[in-house]
Amino acid sequence: MTKGKLKKASSNALKKALTLREKKKNQRLLSFGNLVNKLRERIKKFPDRRIGKNISKSLEDAALGAFSIFYMQSPSFLSHQQLMQTTKGKNNARSLFGIEEILSENHIRNLLDVVDPQLLNPVFMEIVNDLREGGYIEEYRSNTYKKNILIGMDATQYFSSKKISCPQCNTRRRVEKENDKETVDFYHCVVSPVLLKPGLNRVISLPPEYIIPQDGSEKQDCEYNASKRWFDKYGEYILELGDGEGGVTVLGDDLYCKQPFCEEILRHKFNFILVCKPDSHKTLYEYLKLLQEEIEEEEVKIARWKGKYRQVNTYRFYNQVPIKDGEKGVLEVNWCEIVTTDHEGKVIYKNSFATNHKITGENVAQIVEDGRARWKVENENYNVLKNRGYHLEHNFGHGKKHLSSLLATFNLLAFLFHTVLEIVDEKYALVRRELVKRKTFFQHLQVLTCYWYFENWDVMMVFMIEGLELEVPQVPDSS
């Protein structure tokens, strides 16, 4: 080997070694133990204004106990660990989550009711920042247009009752048809933005913003205002994920496709691709109709095979059209439409979008693909949280102040922990792949932690891998 080739080989070997070392460092940084430590350090900063006899119980144990229930997806996790402590003198609540004293559910609810859920939001930000520094966010850059980071915005309701309420509730009045009697629904909603990507079935949860009554406002809070508050709080932080100005694109449904909100997105130096329906944008579509009469529209057709049958995507687009009526200060957006027809010419899908990205025949399909990915907010985020073991809509406790939204935040945080471990922890990812269904995986965890004591999370993962007769990955110990 020549001296030049030897030098190049040595350089490549060094780069590979450094990359592996960095990977191991990032894996340790985002291990289960370190994730729990991040949460614990934040909980220690919770204000504790208790006086009298009630101060004997630890607020830290209460918060970690609540989180452990959501993380393990087991309402009876703490009671099982209390029994294990009685019979074996040790328990998994302490070894896995660092809980010194297992409190009753009533104690946990009473202690946590006064805690503002926003106190947990820095944990989301710290974890996402660690993912960025570890290079894991790069996986979420769009494969299609400008390599943007895509953020999906949407809200969901997670509590509703006609009897249970608190000062943080929103209200909805209805008249029953049977007896013309007015009833009041009390409910909670949250805006839970996520990082997403077309073709990727995992989303990364960002800090939530709750739709709750605001001080000094006579009007009831709404998704629109909560989303604006979210941008004010986290816009600068999120922009860093896109590596500077223009690197983040916001996706959303037709509710967000209004001039004030689009201007809010642009003010924060983000881009947008938003659903733009004809019924709510009459001026824009009237303008499009006039353009069609005067200027030949630009159209792109792309055929693809769906099984045995051929489908055709037809794209139409115009740049610089007014988003609303008015003579001055009207925002101009770029509009595009997709119509998918089957082999018989029947329309099977149709949607349209408004964006600030300039549209061309070369990029229109890419922009539409990114815009359509907004459905992942519902499917990969809220659907999982409501129907795949997290039971987001279940009333785990409502309280008189913050309890309902705090427990919902713990639920969202548990979802983020699971996503991070699936990305970073090779042992966790291996067991998840082998057991296929999320529900099956957590059923196994629930049973194992009832009967066996594990010194730490890594020991439990190895136990499961060996039980499944798989080869244990040679990765850094995540304990």
Q: Read off the pLDDT band of 35 (50, 70, 90).
A: very high
CB atoms within 10 A of CB 421: 21
Residue 82, domain member (yes or no): yes
Last residue of a domain, one of 322, 350, 365: 365
Q: Read off the pLDDT band of 298 (50, 70, 90).
A: confident
pLDDT(319) > 80: yes
Tell whether 1 and 69 lie within a shared domain: no
Among the listed residues 378, 346, 479, 347, the one whose alpha carbon sits nearest the alpha carbon of residue 425: 479
Cα(81)–Cα(453) distance, integer angstroms: 9
* Average pLDDT, integer, range 429-435: 96
Tell whether 296 and 340 lie within a shared domain: yes
Q: Classify 180 in phi/psi space as left (phi over 0), alpha (psi -120 to 50) or beta.
A: left
Name the residue with higher pLDDT: 147 or 399. 399
The string of pLDDT tens digits covering residues 378-411 is 999 999 999 999 999 999 999 999 999 999 999 9
Extended strands (E) in 203-308: 204-205, 209-211, 248-252, 271-275, 298-306
* Average pLDDT, integer, range 121-125: 96
* Average pLDDT, integer, range 97-105: 96
Cα(474)–Cα(460) distance, integer angstroms: 15
pLDDT(307) > 70: yes
DSSP tally for the chain: helices H, then strands E: 17, 13
Poorest-confidence range of 11-20, 164-173, 336-345, 350-359?
11-20
Tell whether 361 and 437 lie within a shared domain: no
pLDDT(449) > 60: yes
**CA torsion sign, 256 to 259 to 265 to 270?**
positive
**Which pLDDT score, from 0 to 100, does residue 33 have?**
96
pLDDT(5) > 90: no
Q: Read off the pLDDT band of 114 (50, 70, 90).
A: very high
Domain that holds residue 357: 272-365
Give ∠ CA 342-347-348 in degrees, rounded to 5.
Answer: 75
Residue 2, domain member (yes or no): yes
**Which pLDDT score, from 0 to 100, does residue 46 have?**
93
**Which pLDDT score, from 0 to 100, does residue 1 have?**
53
Residue 286, domain member (yes or no): yes
Name the residue with higher pLDDT: 251 or 143. 251
Tell whether 354 and 291 lie within a shared domain: yes
Residue 49, domain member (yes or no): yes
**Which pLDDT score, from 0 to 100, does residue 478 have?**
46
Tell whether 289 and 331 lie within a shared domain: yes
Q: Which residues have CB under 8 Å from 338's CB, separation 6+? A: 313, 314, 315, 349, 350, 351, 352, 368, 372
Q: Classify 326 in phi/psi space as left (phi over 0), alpha (psi -120 to 50) or beta.
A: left
Tell whether 19 and 50 lie within a shared domain: no
Q: What is the DSSP string of 122-156?
A: HHHHHHHHHHHHTTGGGGGB-SSSTT-EEEE--EE
Give ∠ CA 18-23-24 in degrees, rounded to 5.
Answer: 100
Terminal-to-terminal C-alpha distance of the chain: 43
Give CA 310 to chain center in angstroms. 35
CB atoms within 10 A of CB 81: 26
Residue 211, domain member (yes or no): no
pLDDT(118) > 80: yes
Name the residue with higher pLDDT: 250 or 48. 250
**Which pLDDT score, from 0 to 100, does residue 340 have?**
96
Last residue of a domain, one of 365, 381, 414: 365
pLDDT(479) > 50: no
pLDDT(316) > 80: yes
**Residue 208 and residue 227 in contact, taking contact as beta carbons nearer than 8 Å:** no
* Average pLDDT, integer, range 154-171: 94
What share of the chain has pLDDT > 90, as a percent? 75
**Which pLDDT score, from 0 to 100, does residue 53 have?**
64
Residue 26 C-beta-side C-alpha neighbours within 13 Å: 22
* Average pLDDT, integer, range 109-134: 95
Number of structural domains found in the chain: 3
* Average pLDDT, integer, range 194-223: 91
Cα(405)–Cα(138) distance, integer angstroms: 31
**Residue 82 and residue 91 in contact, taking contact as beta carbons nearer than 8 Å:** yes
The string of pLDDT tens digits covering residues 179-200 is 778 889 999 999 999 999 999 9
pLDDT(428) > 90: yes
**Which pLDDT score, from 0 to 100, does residue 268 have?**
93
Give ∠ CA 244-423-265 in degrees, rounded to 5.
Answer: 30
**Which pLDDT score, from 0 to 100, does residue 19 have?**
59
The model's pTM: 0.91
Residue 61, domain member (yes or no): yes
* Average pLDDT, integer, range 428-438: 95
Q: Read off the pLDDT band of 352 (50, 70, 90).
A: very high
Q: Are strands 155-161 and 149-152 parallel, antiparallel or unpaired?
A: unpaired
Residue 147 C-beta-side C-alpha neighbours within 13 Å: 8
Extended strands (E) in 236-297: 248-252, 271-275
Cα(468)–Cα(462) distance, integer angstroms: 10
Q: Read off the pLDDT band of 17 (50, 70, 90).
A: very low
pLDDT(52) > 80: no
Tell whether 93 and 48 lie within a shared domain: yes
Residue 301, domain member (yes or no): yes
pLDDT(117) > 60: yes
Residue 104, domain member (yes or no): yes
Tell whether 17 and 45 lie within a shared domain: no
Mean pLDDT score of the chain: 90
CB atoms within 10 A of CB 133: 14
Q: Read off the pLDDT band of 108 (50, 70, 90).
A: very high
pLDDT(301) > 70: yes
